[in-house]
């Protein structure tokens, strides 16, 4: 057997959909001011970290954790005023995206919009689903008629929508979401990803109470400041939650995840204050960017701002020369020249605003 034959046979067990799918589009880059991943710029306060460490000292690390983090589920149930049987936890809401795509997308359809969060389409590609991405309207509103037509054309399948939308920051009207849900009856699971919900004054979680085919996603990675911990959750009716839980490995929430989130949830006033500060800074940055002679910032309901520039590659490089890392978005549909900047601390935002004045 030749070496080339060995290589070919080693590839055969891997499904073509996996071999042909791209890796997640992210390249780590170091910079003094990091505004590229929509993280909270605020770390967990040292006092809370000490409380977390103290509790962890009292736990036996040689024993498995609760099978599905039942204690943390109870706290989230109380926070959201939700039936605990309808709560599902995972090490990151991205894990839940894959689980949802598995229960409703394998051998079926995955529908979403473009541009959009890359994992929606990527999960469909990896699972060999029939993927459809519909372009947003020029103003970044949902293509409601096209979505309804696709849904009515038939499933079964799953629809992913982010509210607020990523990467544009747009918040879509509830009336349009209801039109979409009307068309999705029966054969479609509708996932409303509310990763940035704390930065808005609205939520669609009530729709999961009114519709058995709706799931809401939440994350601790943004407003709660726990991106490094990796924890997210789903809200739905108990039957749907039970089916999602089947796709997740048992004991997948470690005691480190659970204790950290429990302590953070016991101090919601800290997160609330930091969210208010981020919204204030977002509005301040928007006001400053609107004065730029050549750039167009788009209104945002999240913790980032999408900006259309003349040349995203050049602007990204010139900001990086000044020690400021933002995210290029110009590879996405209809986002030519666009960059995305996360809202940072006052110091970081001041540095970004000052740098933009020297960049055309």
Encode pLDDT of 21-76 as tens digits.
888 888 889 999 999 999 999 999 999 999 999 999 999 999 999 999 999 999 99
pTM of the entire predicted model: 0.94
**Rounded percentage of the chain residues whose pLDDT exceeds 70:** 97
Q: What is the pLDDT of residue 260?
A: 98
**DSSP output for 64-101:** ---TT-HHHHHHHHHHHT--GGGEEEESSHHHHHHHHH
User: 39: which DSSP letter?
Assistant: -
Averaged confidence pLDDT in the chain:
95
Confidence of residue 8 (pLDDT cuts 50, 70, 90): low
Per-residue confidence (pLDDT) for residue 11, from 0 to 100: 53
Distance (Å) of CA 53 to CA 41, 260, 263 = 22, 9, 10
Domains of the chain: 15-38+269-356 (3.90.1150.10), 60-265 (3.40.640.10)
- pLDDT value of residue 3: 46
């Amino acid at each position: 057997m030749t070496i080339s034959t060995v290589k070919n046979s080693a590839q055969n067990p891997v499904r073509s959909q996996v071999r042909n799918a791209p890796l997640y589009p992210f390249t780590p880059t170091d910079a003094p001011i990091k505004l590229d991943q929509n993280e909270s710029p605020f770390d967990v306060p040292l006092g809370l970290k000490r409380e977390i460490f103290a509790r962890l000292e009292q736990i036996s690390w040689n024993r498995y954790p609760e099978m599905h983090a039942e204690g943390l589920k109870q706290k989230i149930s109380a926070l959201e005023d939700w039936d605990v049987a309808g709560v599902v936890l995972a090490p990151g809401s991205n894990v839940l995206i894959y689980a949802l795509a598995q229960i409703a997308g394998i051998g079926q359809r995955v529908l979403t919009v473009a541009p959009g969060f890359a994992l929606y389409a990527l999960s469909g590609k990896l699972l060999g689903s029939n993927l459809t991405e519909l372009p947003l309207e020029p103003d970044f509103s949902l293509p409601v008629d096209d979505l309804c037509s696709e849904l009515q054309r038939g499933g079964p399948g799953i629809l992913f929508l982010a509210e607020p939308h990523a990467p544009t920051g747009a918040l879509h009207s509830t009336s349009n979401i209801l039109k979409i849900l009307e068309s999705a009856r029966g054969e479609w699971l509708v996932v409303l990803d509310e990763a940035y919900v704390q930065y808005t004054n609205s939520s669609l979680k009530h729709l999961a109470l009114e519709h058995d085919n709706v799931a809401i996603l939440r994350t601790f990675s943004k407003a709660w400041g726990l991106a490094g911990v990796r924890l997210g959750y789903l809200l739905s009716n108990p039957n749907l939650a039970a089916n999602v839980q089947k796709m997740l490995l048992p004991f997948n929430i470690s005691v480190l995840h659970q204790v950290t989130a429990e302590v953070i949830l016991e101090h919601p006033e800290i997160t609330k204050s930091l969210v208010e500060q981020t919204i204030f800074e977002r509005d301040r940055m928007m006001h400053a960017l609107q004065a730029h002679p050549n750039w167009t910032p788009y209104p945002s309901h999240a913790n980032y701002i999408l900006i259309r520039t003349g040349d995203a590659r050049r602007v990204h490089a010139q900001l990086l020369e000044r020690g400021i890392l933002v995210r290029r978005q110009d590879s996405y549909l209809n986002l030519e020249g666009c960059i995305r900047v996360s809202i940072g601390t006052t110091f970081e935002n001041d540095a970004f605003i000052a740098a933009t004045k020297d960049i055309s």
